Amino acid sequence: MSPYKETRWGEKDFGRIYLDTAETFVPDRERLIEMACSFYEDFVKTDNGEKSLLELGPGDGAFTNGLLSAEPKLRATLVDASPQMINAAKERLTNIGTEFIISSFEDLLEDDPLAGREFDFVVSSLAIHHMKSESKAAFYRYIFDHISPGGAFFNIDTVASPTEDIEDWYIKLWGRWIDGQEIKPDPDGPFAKKHREIKNKPGNHTDPLFDQIAILKEIGFVGADCFYKYGRFAAFGGRREK
């Protein structure tokens, strides 16, 4: 995994700019949160008590906020390497009992503050692609080991394209989506040209979608599949047997 301190997420204002502009360059962000809520409703929710949620890389907590709006009884734990993001999530999420942990994914694998704990629903959004390819399998295993029997994993992330020409088309598709938004990123800001610079970003380690799904299946996830895809953006995951 790329050490957190070597990425731009550790810069003072980078996270704030991301939060202010995410809606303009992340395709179907709200729809994906709605899909996660639907997935939870159909595959995880039961009538016999509260459920627990773990979000890995929550940013300002928008994903968890959407889930809590649909299911207020969820007990949420959020883990992010950025103190700035954790503080933003704390401001958004005022639910009693919500837990916040500052830790990188790398640190979770090395010294796990969640050791011995299981969660009914584990989610992540645009975060795991920052891990190096050789670390992703271990992290997916970590996630599986922290899911309760009958629980599930829902991951939204960017993925690698199968060929160079498809990659170029995906980038064009993404740029056209950004250009079609009523509110556009600051042309001088760090995310305005994000889609054109994506292949050379040092902190990005995207991998092919179906290679990652194959890893989930090998680990033991049931029904591991792609739930949504728009160019380089995908939602995928699976469930743990009861």
Residue 30 burial class via C-beta count within 10 angstroms: exposed 0-12, middle 13-18, buried 19 and up: exposed
Average pLDDT, the chain: 86
> 3-7, 76-80, 81-85, 238-242: which has the minimum mean pLDDT?
3-7
**How far apart are alpha carbons 76 and 201 in whole angstroms?**
31
8 Å CB contact between 76 and 55: yes
Tell me the longest C-alpha to C-alpha distance in the chain: 51
pLDDT at 116 over 90: yes
Q: How many residues does the chain have?
A: 242
- Topology at the third CATH level for domain 4-239: Rossmann fold (3.40.50)
* Domain range summary for the chain, segments of one domain joined by +: 4-239
pLDDT grade, residue 29 (50/70/90)?
Answer: confident
Share of the chain above pLDDT 70, in %: 81
**How far apart are alpha carbons 164 and 146 in whole angstroms?**
36
